Structure 1
Amino acid sequence: MTQPPIDPTASKRARVRRRRRERQILVFGAIFGGLALAGFFFASVYRGDIEGPFAQPFVTPESAFETEVNIACPPAGVMPMAPTDVSLRVINATNTAGLASTTSKDLSGRGFVVTGSSNWTRDFPGTVRIYYGEEGLAQAYTLSTYFTDFEMVMDTRDSALLDLIIGDDYSAADSLRSQDAAEISTEIAFVRPQQCVPIELVAPEPAPRNLPDDPLASPEPEASPSASASAS
């Protein structure tokens, strides 16, 4: 009997199918191997055998946070205070005689508690600068609302008493807001500066050596006679 002729096209198709199956076996083998490896990895992370890729915090630790911004943000959830709850000294850094005294009268007329006025031995070319301590952040922001332009500097003082420095650019007519200005309302929240940081991240300057007592500070409670007797 004679053999039927071999179809070369069928033989070629058979080789193509065989190679395709081989490639499929390799691809699916690689996929299943990858899945098995991923499953082993995540199971090890879950058990704590190895450290996962998200073990590090998503926020920068406070100790590692570095910024050139040194302005404290307004206290959260705190509205401006009444002027009668803000005490300050007024200091003249200009060559205009009597400017601290007249500014003190202007602010006293608004209700602020002015403890005194004096001259500054340094130059200040700005409008006003408010020095405050950590306890006086709300007071400093309250005082700032009364001026059209201001600077705020935190120092190491341990009271809420403020120092207001009057600079060369100060003008009572242009720098001090009118008494009916909406910006000084105690019912409007503080305006947050475009760049500010939590007060804990502000690097304070050294406070003046001699600071008067804050007249608005709460007096420290005196020890009761019984407590003194028991202590002795």
Structure 2
Amino acid sequence: MRGISETISTVIISSVIIMVSIMIFYIATYSLTTTMQVSEYGYMKSSMINIASSIPEIIKGTSISISVPKGSVGVGYSIQNNIVYEVDVLTSSGWKNIIVDDSPSAIVIRSYNVVVTSNRIIYGINNLTVNDIAFIPTIWEYYKDGASIINFNTSRFYIHIYKVTNGTYTEIYIRIYYLQLRPKYISGPRTIMFVPGGKVIEDQINNIEGLVIREINSVTGKTIRSYEPSKLFSLGYKVNLLLSVDRLYVVMT
């Protein structure tokens, strides 16, 4: 009987050891997987911030690409079909409405295994207008529908206002620049390529009498946000508009 008891004890101990070993294995595997997922998400976040800070070079014609990890990170895009960005210009002939973007898009990076607890901007500012080209992109980080999301968009206007004086004659120039983001899917290795797409609009309108930049809900027709430099038109100077719109293709494979 003693021999049988020792055998049973040995079996029980062996079973416990095996179970503990299996648990340790699964815990270690889960920990390793979680670490890898967090690392991949952090890599994509850093990469998108680097892209955003490189926008001035991209605008000048430089193409930039980043690789996408083959793990848990998903890459896609969203299009706001109900949002329109336009520049309204008043001349002696009346108002002219120039649509600069009727399908503003964003690059969306998603991870279901990393939890982000706050909604925050990790690059740029959430304004309709900016005074630095480097802040045309904005990157949001937030949690939605069970996933942590990185949202990269360029839906804002760069504005530069300056005077040109020739003797006693002075003119004011308002330079407005907008960068359209246009995502595309093609087959290939997992990469995201940012490729300049050239000019969409290049226009100069002289002697304008009013200017309004709008973000509009195209369904209701209501203005969501607007910018109007009305004080410029009360200074007694001739005011000219320089409007430039470029396109940036984001090719995802």
What TM-score, normalized to structure 1? Answer: 0.24
- Specify which structure has the higher proportion of helix: 1
- Specify which structure has the higher proportion of strand: 2
What TM-score, normalized to structure 2? Answer: 0.23
Q: Which has the larger radius of gyration?
A: 1
